[in-house]
Structures are given as C-alpha cells and as structure tokens.
Amino acid sequence: MSAAAPMHTYSRVAIALHWAIALMILSLVGFGFLMTQEWMPNRFAIYQWHKSFGILVLVLSLFRLIWRLGHKPPPLPSDMKTWEVAAAKVTHIGFYVLMIAMPLLGWAMVSASKLPIENKLFYLIPLPDLPGVTPSDALTDRFKLLHEIGAKLILLLFVLHVGGALKHHFVAKDGTLARMIPALRR
Ligand code: HEM
Ligand code: HEM
C-alpha cells in the first residue's frame, strides 16, 4: 500500500490484540464453565490457569484500550444504516467493559474468598488480594454471581458480534471482516 492510500484495516497491534484476547476469552468462558463441574479432572490446576490467563486478559485489555484511544479505527462502510453503526458501537463498548470488568470481578471473588489458596499467576507471580476487599462468604457469592452473569453477557455479545461480522462478509460483502483479517483482502 502506498503511503497516501487510505488505511483499510486495523493496525497490526490492534489485530494481534483482538485475536489474542478473543482466543483467551473464549477459552476462559469454556474452561470456566467446565472447571466448576464436579466431574472435571485436574480442577485445581485449571483454576490456576484460569486466574493466570484472566489477569493476562486484564493487562492486555487495558493496554488495548489505551492503544485504541490513540489510534482511530478504519472507517466503517458508508452504506451502513444508523442502527447498524449504533449496534456495532454498543457491542464494541460492551466488550471493552467486560474485558476489564470480568477479570476484576474474578480477582475480587478470589480476594474475598476465605479459602487459604495462594494464587500464583503462571506458577510464578504471586497475585495479591485486591485492596479493600475483605474476606467474606457473602461478598464471594456476590462477585461469583456477577462473574457468571458477565460470562453470559460476553456470550450474548459474541453471538451478535460474530453474526454481524458474518453478515458483513457473506451478505453485504463490504470487506468489514478483512479489517480484522487482512489476508481476506483481495
Ligand atoms: C476475561 C476474563 C474471565 C472470563 C471470561 C472468565 C469466565 C469465567 C466463567 C465462564 C466461569 C464459570 C462461571 C460459573 O459457572 O460460576 C468462571 C469461574 C471462575 N472464575 Fe473466571 N473468568 C475470567 C477471569 C477470571 C479471573 C481473573 C479470576 C481470578 C483471578 C477468575 C476466577 C474465577 C473463579 C475462582 C471461578 C469459579 C467460580 C465458582 O467456583 O463458581 N476468573 N470464570
Ligand atoms: C470473544 C471474542 C471476541 C471479542 C471479545 C471481540 C472484540 C472486538 C472488539 C472490542 C472490537 C472493536 C475493536 C475496536 O474498534 O477497538 C472488535 C472488532 C471486530 N471483530 Fe471482534 N471480538 C471477538 C471475536 C471475533 C470473531 C470470532 C470475529 C470474526 C468472525 C470477529 C470479527 C471482528 C471484526 C471484523 C471487527 C472489526 C469490526 C469493525 O470494523 O467495526 N471478532 N472485536
């Protein structure tokens, strides 16, 4: 692409962060629901990996948000209806909120827990308790419930988001998916 040509895709950093975070969130939701089942083997280890990747999502999402504030995304197709633009914006903002709120709720849940578990991220970095969260069963249950509701909201946004992306790609054929997967660009 020449220097003067318009930028049609997200930046490499935005694309790398999008797919890394998407993969981690989908695994966190999948393994999150599985690890809470009694029959699941190696539950303790999965919990530790869950906490580790969950905090990694928090760090990467904060970085991604800061990056996004300084880098404008490529323009949306001009023939999109007002409600479609609004729906895309609400979904994106909802994702950013949940990408940050979900790890914080999980962290708050383990900080409020009375179980004497030492949390070490990737078996290396000790995870301190969130400041201001005191051990309490009632608080643990509240954060647990909010964490579970958040996961269901992520799934709802995911269905809307992927539905939208596939509609753009296969019905409108307007190159929107190629903004996140440059290899699709002709
Ligand atoms: C984007 C990040 C995260 C996502 C998408 C996520 C998703 C989930 C899901 C789907 C569940 C199962 C919900 C249920 O049935 O109760 C779960 C459970 C859990 N998560 Fe997360 N999680 C994230 C981050 C974290 C973090 C950072 C921590 C802790 C540092 C954490 C700690 C836990 C714990 C302890 C449970 C088990 C709750 C129980 O025993 O019912 N999560 N998570
Ligand atoms: C849990 C998984 C996912 C999350 C959390 C997520 C989150 C996001 C967010 C926050 C944005 C807005 C980026 C910005 O403008 O800063 C975005 C854009 C985008 N995502 Fe995802 N995404 C996920 C999965 C997917 C999947 C599976 C697809 C493809 C089928 C996809 C396709 C796209 C596309 C094409 C855009 C650009 C849309 C546009 O140009 O407005 N995403 N995603």
**Ligand 2 mean position to 133 CA, how many Å?**
33
Question: Which atom of ligand 2 is nearest to 22's Cα?
Answer: 2
Cβ of 28 below 6 Å from ligand 1: yes
pLDDT score of 159 more than 70:
yes
Asked if the structure places residue 86 within a domain, the reply is yes
Measured in whole angstroms, the distance separating CA 118 from the mean position of its chain's CA atoms is 25
pLDDT digits (tens, 9 = 90+) for 39-56: 999 999 999 999 999 999
Q: What is the distance between the alpha carbons of residues 123 and 132, in angstroms, rounded to a whole number?
A: 25
Cβ of 106 below 6 Å from ligand 1: yes
Asked if the structure places residue 155 within a domain, the reply is yes
pLDDT score of 5 more than 50:
no
Which segments within the chain are labelled E, that is strand?
A: 120-121, 125-126
Q: Name the token pair of 84.
A: 């479609």
Asked if the structure places residue 1 within a domain, the reply is no
Write down the pTM of the prediction. Answer: 0.95
Q: What is the distance between the alpha carbons of residues 151 and 122, in angstroms, rounded to a whole number?
A: 22
Q: Name the token pair of 23.
A: 């993969």
Closest ligand to 31 CA?
1
State how many domains the chain has. 1
Query: CB of 137 within 8 A of CB of 115?
Result: no
Cβ of 169 below 6 Å from ligand 2: no
Q: What is the distance between the alpha carbons of residues 170 and 83, in angstroms, rounded to a whole number?
A: 19
CATH number of 120's domain: 1.20.950
Cβ of 176 below 6 Å from ligand 2: yes
